[in-house]
């Protein structure tokens, strides 16, 4: 039976005062289990008919029942049936009018967008699966790490444990492997607080990559927003089905929480795996293409993601899909936060213009169900006006690309320029701004903790490659080296790639220590990329998204210099934790007492207050930075950081600061091995600082 109704135009999205999104008709979409069966609710404002297709439990091509859904208002179609129970595979079929922007086909089997489970059918087909989702959390709650104590660690579920010798073979590269005691101990020994995972929503590989016998390793090609990627589960869980896969994921979260570690998910709500028109029609395109994707009047897609399509969050249904997915992962799966890929796309209005007060962006922050959840925006996309760093609203953190570029320039490309020309292109001023929390990017209301500082990330060079290659080497990606950025601000220190030159290798190691020291001693929230703590290389590939191989899996057999680097990172994270002056919550204001800020005083190499001429002089690249905490309770903490950005050794006179009688050396980037406590010096003493190096003192 086919039920036909007129079209309902999608409504612009608006925020509800309580923090959610309007249209209560959109509540409880998907499959909701009950005592007498299950109710399935699907939204499609342009459809003429929607039907539920139920399959045999073992033969995913055998249709056992077809049930029409009835329109119940607001574009929602619904049916209640006893045929849906945990483990049942199903699909939906949607038919509707032809015309610009519509891509209905009543014969196409589609994934129900809110499904919690998936099973593959044939080579490229999928079936939704009913999942109960029950799980015993054993009373384990979220760690709720304060922002000022947070140290993010970005990694890939598979790549983290795939080669770890202490993780059992059957668990390597899986959710269970990530939560194995050997991995947990690594996180704890390193000192990070929050593990940020590359996409774990179910995803698929693009046909173009399959033609090159490559794979989408990173996972930025989402198939469904409610289902964990089954390939990351153990073989046993995959055999048992979607319920077991979800249970393994929740078990991973529980074990990490027991250890006091947070779980942050990298989420890709800006586009889907359906690509551009002519690509796969697996779910949203077949349900209501006109309402779910941004497009011109003639149906041509407006692609601001570079991936073929862009989710149209200016409509209620698309915005609620995102919000409901976040609620599910935060409440039912207990994850602690989200990093939003190409987040500017989510904040574009009906005219496709970014607005910081977009109803969806506000709802994500204001929704009571998401209270306390960390929200991190990648503040750009590839559309017009796509770069928006610093423009997201209160409650949002943002990847700080200005920080990345400034730090790389100071320690790498500026040094390269000085070697080639005999002069530095820029002084120390821009780096000082980044050390102090990027107040020129984030306003006083948001403070330094709005910025996620990073030097490397999953995309781009690893830390080791950043100091070892002048240019990318991406031929293995199958695009004739055209992919990946050319603006790396990297420096090979005298040889491209592998070398036996001791001088080059020594300079590279110190450069890595300088980059890591800057990252972990700066105000803001630091993000460390997995493997950088021991200098992992990808052989110069700065866009290794398509390699599921030892190239991208973390190696755990380390040379002595790598173990030394690891100890430096441990030491730096511990120093950050022990010295609140390095991690202020707020920006200090001149002449005012600002609680939980850090008073910052700047001196030159002679121990004199920095002059305007010194700040603007490109040849002046030595700085002393005294930060004093202003705690709301407890004692104040004070540190001195010396930054020297030329390759010549220099004599530095330690500043005479009121209340300081001695300086105790805590860390030096010039040391191959970190030391727990160095020599003591008095204000006015002169210390020798090696070329391109940093020193951290405790001021007492």
Q: Which pLDDT does position 36 carry in this prediction?
A: 82
* 399, 376 Cβ separation under 8 angstroms: yes
As a whole number of angstroms, the distance between CA 294 and CA 350 comes to 9
pLDDT in tens, 390-423: 999 999 999 999 999 999 999 999 999 999 999 9
As a whole number of angstroms, the distance between CA 74 and CA 66 comes to 23
As a whole number of angstroms, the distance between CA 357 and CA 392 comes to 8
273: left (phi over 0), alpha (psi -120 to 50) or beta: alpha
119-123, 508-512, 522-526, range with the lowest pLDDT:
119-123
Q: Which pLDDT does position 21 carry in this prediction?
A: 64
pLDDT in tens, 276-294: 999 999 999 999 999 999 9
* Tokens read off for 19: 């923090």
State phi, psi for 451 to the nearest 5 degrees: -100, 130
Tell whether the model's pLDDT for residue 259 goes beyond 70: yes
Annotation marks residue 206 as catalytic? no
In this prediction, residue 25 has a pLDDT band, given cuts at 50, 70 and 90, of confident
* 200, 182 Cβ separation under 8 angstroms: no
In this prediction, residue 14 has a pLDDT band, given cuts at 50, 70 and 90, of low
Helix intervals (H) in 349-501: 359-366, 401-408, 414-421, 429-435, 463-466
Report CA dihedral (235, 558, 452, 185) to the nearest 10 degrees.
60
Which residues are within 8 A (CB) of 85 and not within 5 positions of it... i.e. 6 or more apart?
A: 33, 37, 38, 130
Smallest CA-to-CA distance from 19 within 530, 531, 370 is with 370
Secondary structure string (H, E, C) spanning 274-329: CCCCCCCCCCHHHHHHHHHECECCCCCECCCCCCCCCECCCEHHHHHHHHHHHHHH
pLDDT in tens, 324-372: 999 999 999 999 999 999 999 999 999 999 999 999 999 999 999 999 9
For 211, 262, 445, 657, 699, the CA distances from 580, given in Å and listed in that order, are 52, 21, 20, 19, 13
* 630, 594 Cβ separation under 8 angstroms: yes
Residue keyed to tokens 């050396």? 665
Catalytic one of 341, 381, 533, 671: 341
pLDDT in tens, 151-201: 999 999 999 999 999 999 999 999 999 999 999 999 999 999 999 999 999
Average pLDDT (432-447) is 96
Write down the pTM of the prediction: 0.95
178-182, 210-214, 551-555, range with the lowest pLDDT:
210-214
State phi, psi for 72 to the nearest 5 degrees: -125, 10
Smallest CA-to-CA distance from 272 within 212, 323, 331, 318 is with 318
* Tokens read off for 464: 């080791």
In this prediction, residue 15 has a pLDDT band, given cuts at 50, 70 and 90, of low
* 142, 337 Cβ separation under 8 angstroms: no
Tell whether the model's pLDDT for residue 139 goes beyond 50: yes
Q: Which pLDDT does position 37 carry in this prediction?
A: 86
Catalytic one of 336, 378, 414, 671: 378
As a whole number of angstroms, the distance between CA 452 and CA 359 comes to 23
Annotation marks residue 444 as catalytic? no
pLDDT in tens, 665-692: 999 999 999 998 889 999 999 999 999 9
Looking at domain 24-129, its CATH architecture is Sandwich (2.60)
Q: Hey, which bits of 123-279 come out as E strands? A: 125-129, 152-155, 194-197, 262-267
In this prediction, residue 451 has a pLDDT band, given cuts at 50, 70 and 90, of very high
Average pLDDT (224-235) is 98
Computed on alpha carbons and rounded to an integer, the radius of gyration of the chain in Å comes to 27
pLDDT in tens, 578-615: 999 999 999 998 888 899 999 999 999 999 999 999 99
Looking at domain 590-699, its CATH architecture is Sandwich (2.60)
In this prediction, residue 144 has a pLDDT band, given cuts at 50, 70 and 90, of very high
For 449, 517, 522, 591, 629, the CA distances from 598, given in Å and listed in that order, are 13, 19, 12, 13, 4
Residue intervals in the chain for CATH 2.60.40.1180: 590-699
Query: What percent of the chain has pLDDT above 70?
Result: 97
CA atoms within 13 Å, Cβ hemisphere of 644: 25
Mean pLDDT score across all residues of the chain: 95
Tell whether the model's pLDDT for residue 662 goes beyond 70: yes
E strand or H helix at 251: helix 242-258
15-24, 623-632, 680-689, range with the lowest pLDDT:
15-24
In this prediction, residue 22 has a pLDDT band, given cuts at 50, 70 and 90, of low
3-state SS class at 364: helix
Q: Which pLDDT does position 13 carry in this prediction?
A: 57
Residue intervals in the chain for CATH 2.60.40.10: 24-129
pLDDT in tens, 296-323: 999 999 999 999 999 999 999 999 999 9
* 526, 569 Cβ separation under 8 angstroms: no
Q: Which pLDDT does position 678 carry in this prediction?
A: 87
- Strand 152-155 and strand 194-197: the pairing is parallel
Tell whether the model's pLDDT for residue 628 goes beyond 70: yes
């Amino acid at each position: 039976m086919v039920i036909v109704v007129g079209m309902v135009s999608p409504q612009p999205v608006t925020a509800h005062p309580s923090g959610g999104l309007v249209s209560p008709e959109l509540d409880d979409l998907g499959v909701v289990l009950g005592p007498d069966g299950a109710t399935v609710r699907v939204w499609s404002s342009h459809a003429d008919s929607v039907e539920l297709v139920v399959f045999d439990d073992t033969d995913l091509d055998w249709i056992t029942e077809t049930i029409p859904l009835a329109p119940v208002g607001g574009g929602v179609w619904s049916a209640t049936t006893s045929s849906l129970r945990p483990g049942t595979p199903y699909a939906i079929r949607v038919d509707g009018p032809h015309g610009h922007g519509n891509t209905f086909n009543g014969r196409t089997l589609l994934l129900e967008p809110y499904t919690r489970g998936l099973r593959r059918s044939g080579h490229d087909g999928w079936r939704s699966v009913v999942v109960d989702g029950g799980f015993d959390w054993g009373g384990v709650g979220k760690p709720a790490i304060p922002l000022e104590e947070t140290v993010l660690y970005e990694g890939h579920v598979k790549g983290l444990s795939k080669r770890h010798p202490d993780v059992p073979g059957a668990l390597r590269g899986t959710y269970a492997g990530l939560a194995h005691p050997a991995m947990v101990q690594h996180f704890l020994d390193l000192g990070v607080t929050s593990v940020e995972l590359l996409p774990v929503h179910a995803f698929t590989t693009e046909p173009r990559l399959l033609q090159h016998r490559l794979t989408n390793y990173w996972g930025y090609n989402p198939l469904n927003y409610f289902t964990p990627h089954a390939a990351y589960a153990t073989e046993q869980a995959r055999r048992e089905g979607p319920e077991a896969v979800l249970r393994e994921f929740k078990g991973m979260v529980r074990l990490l929480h027991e250890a006091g570690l947070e779980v942050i998910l990298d989420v890709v709500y800006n586009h889907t795996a359906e690509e551009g028109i002519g690509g796969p029609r697996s779910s949203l395109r077949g349900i209501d293409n006109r309402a779910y994707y941004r497009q011109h009047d003639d149906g041509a897609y407006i692609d601001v993601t570079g991936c073929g399509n862009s989710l149209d969050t200016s409509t209620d249904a698309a915005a609620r899909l995102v919000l409901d997915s976040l609620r599910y992962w935060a409440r039912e799966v207990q994850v602690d936060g989200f990093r939003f890929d190409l987040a500017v796309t989510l904040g574009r209005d009906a005219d496709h213009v970014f607005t910081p007060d977009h109803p969806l962006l506000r709802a994500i922050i204001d929704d009571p169900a998401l209270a306390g959840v960390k929200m991190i925006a990648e503040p750009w996309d590839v559309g017009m006006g796509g770069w928006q760093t610093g423009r997201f609203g209160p409650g949002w953190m943002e990847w700080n690309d200005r920080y990345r570029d400034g730090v790389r320039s100071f320690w790498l490309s500026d040094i390269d320029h000085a070697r080639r020309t005999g002069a530095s292109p820029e002084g120390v001023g821009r780096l000082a701004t980044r050390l102090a929390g990027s107040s020129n990017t984030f306003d006083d209301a948001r403070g330094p903790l709005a910025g996620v500082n990073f030097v490397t990330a999953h995309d781009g060079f690893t830390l080791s490659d950043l100091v070892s290659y002048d240019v990318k080497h991406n031929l293995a990606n199958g695009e004739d080296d055209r992919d990946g950025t050319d603006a790396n601000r990297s420096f090979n220190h005298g040889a491209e790639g592998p070398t036996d030159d001791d001088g080059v290798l020594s300079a590279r190691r110190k450069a890595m220590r300088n980059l890591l020291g800057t990252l972990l001693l700066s105000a803001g929230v630091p993000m460390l990329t997995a493997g950088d703590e021991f200098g992992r290389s990808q052989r110069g590939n700065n866009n290794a998204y398509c390699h599921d191989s030892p190239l991208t899996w973390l190696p755990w057999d380390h040379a002595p210099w790598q173990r030394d680097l690891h100890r430096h990172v441990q030491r730096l994270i511990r120093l950050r934790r022990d010295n609140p002056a390095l991690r202020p919550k707020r920006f200090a204001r001149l002449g005012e007492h600002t609680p939980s800020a850090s008073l910052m005083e700047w001196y030159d190499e002679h121990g004199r207050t920095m002059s305007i001429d010194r700040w603007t002089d490109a040849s002046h690249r030595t700085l002393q930075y005294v930060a004093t905490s202003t705690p709301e309770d407890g004692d104040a903490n004070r540190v001195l950081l010396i930054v020297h950005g030329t390759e010549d050794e220099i004599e530095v006179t330690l500043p005479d600061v009121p209340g300081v009688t001695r300086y105790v050396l805590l860390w030096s980037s010039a040391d191959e091995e970190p030391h727990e406590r160095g020599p003591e010096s008095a204000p006015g003493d002169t210390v020798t600082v090696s070329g391109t190096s940093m020193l951290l003192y405790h001021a007492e």
